[in-house]
């Protein structure tokens, strides 16, 4: 019986690769390298190869003990065919048969998953969604991604592209809501980190007299405003900062009301950098959902913060290789990897 | 082996009940009675009982040959528990354990499904979605309903309330978009029949000089405007009528772009009265979808008109009792029930 799975998390800035024990679900060794995304596809692929090679070497484990390599990357990609289409965050990648390239290089079974789906499965196995079968996982950071988990498995749809809930339109004629995807009024274009900051900056520029500490906190340089500054200001009770986060929560709540209408999940787990905003954000989300859903049980759907922080991508990628029985055993296990 | 299934379609105005042969999927006998919705729950239930009794009698079939009774009704309802919650179209119905009431009355296995889900399954077995496993069924008429079919089965979610896609918000701050469900900017509140007519009427009232035959067609009585009048005017080439239908198509296309982002279905089937508008509507829907979806295959997702017209509710309700093997056999069968 195989003892380990390898998880590779390819992001725009770094490649994080780890080896995980199937028996106890623990991360044994980990390597983080820069993605070298600017060097295009070949440069990044070299980094992926190197990280896998290093992890294998550090672990002292022979290939014969490895069940397989799970890789997650930003979409759009096709998990069934193992092909990365053309992610905005990985310039120069275009229809890359990543799974088969890695498989050939290491002669180990390799499978591909998109990063939101991988993180969602990690929360089901190791995190806040343990024990749930129908899960909506949401990640709010630079963008907004979702994973739809049905009967404990990621739902992929026809072309492996289901679960792009972050590009659901909630305001098709929002004049400031042009999204990176080309559409208008996607929730990503209204409530992701960068768009929240953009909206705030616009408000400050239009209303120079607004009473807030935010401007002093960036020495008057509005371009230096970030979600971290916003969060700090909110912690200090700055009213504009609190209002901005509450408005973000309201928009996410409107959107999740619709997602509940469509999917009626058992639980909603929210991860990603913005989810760390905590109570102000979550309170507003939970308050808004029931008033924007036809589902009479919407107010009973738990909306919780993701539990996994670091390494969620490695765990998620590795999970793609786990068998249902192995997943069930890990879900039941008492020890949780944080 | 059982030979027949009974399907009961409870609507706001009539109860249609039929008996269907499992072998060839054909409707053998049918009874249509008024729902007597104004008499409240008891009056309507009597009509349901009577229609089932009559169909049994007309068919000359003994109960021992009936696999079961499938019932569809307007939501919200819980198909798993067989309970009708409180449908706006069935006043006086409140947490009615309909499946168990009918089961006790006739001593025949009975199951409940919501009407959009039932119609969606009817299209999978007998209609435009034959041979497809991941299907989004949409019905556009007085309201907008959807059914999400995954692996050939209706997806119900946790509380049996998944698939309420008609209440997805596409414009949360639309000042005219107040929906019956209490939310704002649901696609139902923007593009269903009554809302399309409402918007058209507002336009005519605000712009008395508009060149159109619509006003003459209702003898100046704008309250007499209906989707049928609109359709007739469009057939005669009336520009305002054509624009109104195209705008409805555009809104539905924006919404379906988002639905494809979430579900990535193999096919979208559109039924309901408004779908009979035909080419003008479907062209606009198909044109709009790819420009409002991040799914790179969105333009390849077929968007087709439903095939079943009359009796779709009876077929859909009856389908709930069919076994997967019986469904597969009917799907393969050459003869199609129209």
User: Which of A241, A223, A236, A229 lies closest to A281 in space, CA to CA?
Assistant: A241
For strands A77-78 and A135-140, give the pairing: unpaired
Number of CB atoms found within 10 A of residue B295's CB: 26
CATH class name, domain A4-114+309-332? alpha beta
ipTM for this model: 0.94
Of residues B186, B218, B181, the one with CA closest to residue B200: B218
pLDDT tens digits along B219-256: 999 999 999 999 999 999 999 999 999 999 999 999 99
DSSP-assigned beta bridge partners for residue A75: none
What fold characterizes domain B131-305?
Answer: Nucleotidyltransferase; domain 5 (3.30.420)
Nearest to B164 among A146, A158, A261 (CB): A261
Q: State the best of A263, A266, A288, A293 to mutate against chain B, taking most chain B CBs within 10 Å.
A: A263
Mutate to test the interface with A, among B120, B294, B296 (most CBs of A within 10 A): B294
Q: Which residues of A touch B171 (CB under 8 A)?
A: 170-173, 185
User: In A, residues 166-205, which contact B (CB 8 Å cutoff)?
Assistant: 167-173, 181-186
- In angstroms, the CA B316 to CA B319 distance is 5
State the residue for tokens 């807030």. Answer: A212
Which of B298, B136, B169 minimizes the C-alpha distance to A186?
B169
What pLDDT is recorded for position B326? 93
Over the stretch B69-123, which tens digit does the pLDDT of each residue have? Answer: 999 999 889 999 999 998 888 888 999 999 999 999 999 999 999 999 999 999 9
At A300-311, the pLDDT tens digits run 999 999 999 889
Phi-psi region of B152 (alpha: psi -120 to 50; beta: other; left: phi over 0): left
Q: Which CATH superfamily is domain A129-305 in?
A: ATPase, nucleotide binding domain (3.30.420.40)
**Nearest-by-Cβ selection for B157 from A146, A169, A264:** A264
DSSP single-letter state for residue A304: E
Residue B337 has pLDDT above 70, yes or no: no
Start-to-end Cα distance in chain A: 26
Going by C-alpha positions, the residue among B124, B143, B142, B141 that lies closest to residue B133 is B124
Fold identical between B4-124+309-332 and B131-305? yes
Q: How far apart are CA A292 and CA B157, in angstroms?
A: 18
Q: Binning pLDDT at 50, 70 and 90, where does residue A334 land? A: low
Residue A251 in contact with residue A187, Cβ under 8 Å? yes
In chain A, domain spans: 4-114+309-332, 129-305
Q: In whole angstroms, how far apart are CA A150 and each of A265, A266, B302?
A: 9, 10, 24
| Category of A297 on φ-ψ map: left (φ > 0), alpha (ψ -120 to 50) or beta | alpha
Count the Cβ atoms, other than its own, within 10 Å of residue B159: 22
B:56-95 residues touching chain A, CB 8 A cutoff: 76, 85
**Total H helices, total E strands in chain B:** 11, 12
Cα dihedral angle (B245, B249, B251, B253), rounded to 10 degrees? Answer: 180
Q: Select the residue from B157, B174, B290 to test the A interface by mutation, using most A Cβ atoms within 10 A.
A: B157
Measure the CA–CA gap between A334 and A126, rounded to whole angstroms: 10
pLDDT digits (tens, 9 = 90+) for A168-207: 999 999 988 899 889 999 999 999 999 999 999 999 999 9
Domain B4-124+309-332 bears CATH identifier 3.30.465.10: no
What residues contact residue B75 under an 8 Å CB cut-off, 6+ apart? B85, B87, B114, B115, B116, B145, B161, B164
């Amino acid at each position: 019986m195989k003892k380990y799975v390898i998880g590779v998390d390819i992001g725009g800035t770094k490649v994080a690769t780890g080896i995980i024990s199937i028996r106890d679900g623990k991360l044994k060794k980990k390597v983080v390298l820069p993605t070298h995304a600017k060097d295009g596809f070949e440069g990044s692929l070299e980094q992926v190869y190197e990280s896998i090679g290093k992890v294998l070497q550090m672990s002292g484990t022979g290939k014969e003990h490895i069940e397989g390599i799970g890789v997650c990357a930003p979409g759009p990609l096709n998990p069934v065919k193992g092909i990365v289409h053309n992610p905005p965050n990985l310039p120069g990648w275009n229809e890359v048969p990543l799974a088969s390239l890695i498989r050939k290089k290491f002669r180990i079974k390799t499978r591909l998953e998109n990063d939101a789906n991988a993180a969602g499965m990690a929360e089901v196995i190791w995190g806040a969604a343990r024990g749930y079968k129908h899960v909506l996982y949401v990640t709010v950071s630079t963008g907004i991604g979702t994973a739809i988990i049905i009967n404990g498995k990621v739902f992929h749809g026809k072309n492996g592209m289901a679960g792009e809930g972050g590009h659901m339109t909630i305001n098709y004629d929002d004049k400031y809501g042009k999204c990176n995807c080309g559409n208008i009024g996607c929730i990503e274009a209204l409530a992701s980190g960068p768009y929240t900051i953009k909206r705030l900056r616009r408000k400050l520029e239009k209303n120079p007299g607004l009473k807030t500490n935010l401007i002093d906190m960036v020495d008057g340089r509005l371009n230096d405003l970030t979600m971290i500054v916003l969060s700090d200001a909110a912690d200090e009770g700055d009213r504009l900062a609190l209002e901005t986060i509450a408005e973000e929560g309201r928009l996410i709540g409107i959107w999740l009301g619709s997602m509940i209408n469509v999917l009626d999940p058992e639980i909603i787990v929210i991860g990603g950098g913005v989810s760390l905003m905590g109570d102000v954000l979550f309170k507003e989300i939970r308050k808004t959902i029931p008033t924007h859903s036809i589902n009479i049980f919407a107010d009973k759907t738990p909306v919780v913060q993701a539990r996994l922080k670091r390494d969620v991508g490695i765990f998620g990628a590795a999970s793609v290789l786990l068998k249902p029985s192995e997943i069930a055993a890990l879900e039941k296990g008492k020890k949780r990897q944080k």
